[in-house]
Structure 1
Amino acid sequence: MKLLRWGPAGQEKPGMLDAQGTARDLSGLVPDIAGPVLSDAGLAMLRGLDPETLPEVPQDARLGVCVGGTGKVICIGLNYSDHAAETGAEVPSEPITFMKATSALCGPNDPIIIPQGSKSTDWEVELAIIIGTQARYIPQSEAFSHIAGYTIGNDVSERDWQKHRSGQWTKGKSSDNFGPVGPWLVTRDEVTDPQDLNLWLSVNGTRMQDGTTKTMVYGVSFLVSYLSQFFTLLPGDIIMTGTPPGVGLGMKPPRFLKPGDLVELGIDGLGQQRQEVIDDPRV
């Protein structure tokens, strides 16, 4: 099952895809793709619907972040052995964990906004986990039961701010529109093995990243269990699981995004994103 949210930013409505790939409106049945709807019981209720009996979403409707009510966006750094190698870093002995501000979240096809003063805005295609039920101190064997599903994330990053502006990585990760998520939440029953997915990213039609979740250092079930030892994971929380090699920072010389660029990315079975790169219109 593929769930989505559509409509203007801040006014998104819930929806789902039918078997033909047409978006259908769920707003008459559930308030949002959030909270109890993300539980096994909530997803089972949606799975029992006949999507073709639901109103069609306008074809030109904007897609928003595919999950609502997100309290935390937790990111994992250097979680692909080949990406760590390209940046000259050692594989961490424990997952590197940092937060991305929820205000950075945006729809999968919304523009990437270059923030004022940025010269090093970079791309990162990532498998994102959507938490479905509360998890605290859970063993790895129970991790999947707390996952609602998966989606695509682009962990857009300002590298100079991340590395040189003192302190944690959060400042380089949290500008507005630095968190495209979607296009849809694919429920976990449709993803046979999250550790066997190809993921890719192109800039202006040139393939930059072409990897597989097989090379993740810390896998999906480990990460959910591990993070639950430090804080409670809640329905709607998003875990960005790291990126494969091919980021702009790792190129020689480094290459970063500029206004007018087009970023496209995708993951097997999870859809695709498309983002135009623009200057901040508020400056």
Structure 2
Amino acid sequence: MKHGRVAFEGRIQQVWEDQGKVRLADGRRVGETEVVWLSPVTPGAIFALGMNYVDHATEIASKAPDEPLVFLKGANTLTGHRSYTPRPADATNMHYECELAIVIGKSARRVAQKDAYDYIAGYTVVNDYAIRDYLEGFYRPNFRIKSRDNCTPIGPWIVDVADIPDPMNLRLTTQVNGVLTQDGSTRDMIFDVPFLIEYFSRFMTLQPGDILLTGTPKGTVNVEPGDEIITEIEGIGALMNTITARTL
């Protein structure tokens, strides 16, 4: 099942995908352009991985990491489907990152890899924009790169974990103004979904609503104001976002 959150008729509503339409709790079906899309989950902690695909890691560094390179993001970064993300006026290299996001479904502490999927509520699509001009170190993105307002579109749907039999074999693509620019597969992750659940839960308790962003494959390119970016993951959905100019 695919479900999400929107603003419609003056209130926030839980909605479901229904034959290409948005089904409201009262049973009505509306078009996706008739609602304002929100993050499909109210986030707890947001964990993001850097360089978790071999091809992308070698694209920006000399070698792939030996263990997960993790940083935290603020909830202020999240924005919904069909939203707008500002490009800073001084940016010379701002790029998208199509990523599979794991949504935690129940409290997880010291979880073995074989049990990892029992702790996942579902999956969604994330576009985790980066402004490379502000990079302090390739392995440790700072706040100005990854924690800007509205720099992380998410959604439109969460897909229940039971509906994705193998999250480690999903195609990820990005289109910029209708042109395919990124094409990869989750099977190329360095650290897969079960490993990440075990890794994080060894030293901290994951809570319902926590989100794990699992990295992006190669193929990231610079985007400019006016560009329309669609990041899509097989079986989960297509997430649309448009770049706008910011003068300050």
TM-score (norm 2): 0.92
Q: Distance in 2 between matches of 1:223 and 1:213?
A: 13
State how 1:1-283 maps to structure 2 within 5 Å.
Answer: 1-7=1-7, 12-18=12-18, 20-26=19-25, 54-57=27-30, 59=32, 60-68=34-42, 70-163=43-136, 168-248=141-221, 256-280=222-246, 283=248
Q: Distance in 2 between matches of 1:185 and 1:201?
A: 19
Q: C-alpha separation between the residues in 1 aligned to 2:62 and 2:82?
A: 31
The one-letter code sitting in structure 2 at the alignment partner of 1:260 is G
Q: Deviations over 1:118-166 (max 9, x none)?
A: 3321110001111111112211122111100001000111112133699
Deviation of 1:243 (Å): 0.2
- Any idea what the Cα deviations from partners look like across 1:172-220, whole Å, max 9, x if unmatched? 1011111111010000111010010000002122221100011101101
Alignment correspondent of 1:36: none
Q: What amino acid maps onto 1:15 in structure 2?
A: V
| Structure 1 letter corresponding to 2:20 | G
Q: Is the 8 A contact 2:171 2:234 kept in 1?
A: yes
Q: Secondary structure at the match of 2:82?
A: coil
- Alpha-carbon distance in structure 2 between the residues aligned to 1:107 and 1:67: 10
Q: Secondary structure at the match of 2:136?
A: helix
Cα 1:62–1:246 change in 2 (3 A) is same
Cα deviation, 1:30-57, whole Å, max 9, x if unaligned, reads xxxxxxxxxxxxxxxxxxxxxxx72334
CA RMSD of aligned residues (A): 2.2
Of 205-214 and 116-125, the range deviating more from structure 2: 116-125
Describe the SS at the equivalent of 2:83.
Answer: coil
Matches of 2:64 and 2:205, distance apart in 1 = 26
For the 8 Å contact 1:128–1:240, the answer to whether it is kept is: yes
Given that residues 7 and 38 in structure 2 are in contact (C-alpha distance below 8 angstroms), is that contact kept between their aligned partners in structure 1?
yes
1:115–1:175 Cα contact (<8 Å) kept: no
Larger strand share, 1 or 2? 2
Name the TM-score, length of structure 1 as normaliser.
0.81
Give secondary structure in 2 for the equivalent of 1:273: strand
Q: Which segments of 5 or more consecutive residues in structure 1 lack a partner in the other structure? A: 27-52, 249-255
Separation (CA, whole Å) in 2 of partners of 1:84 and 1:192: 27
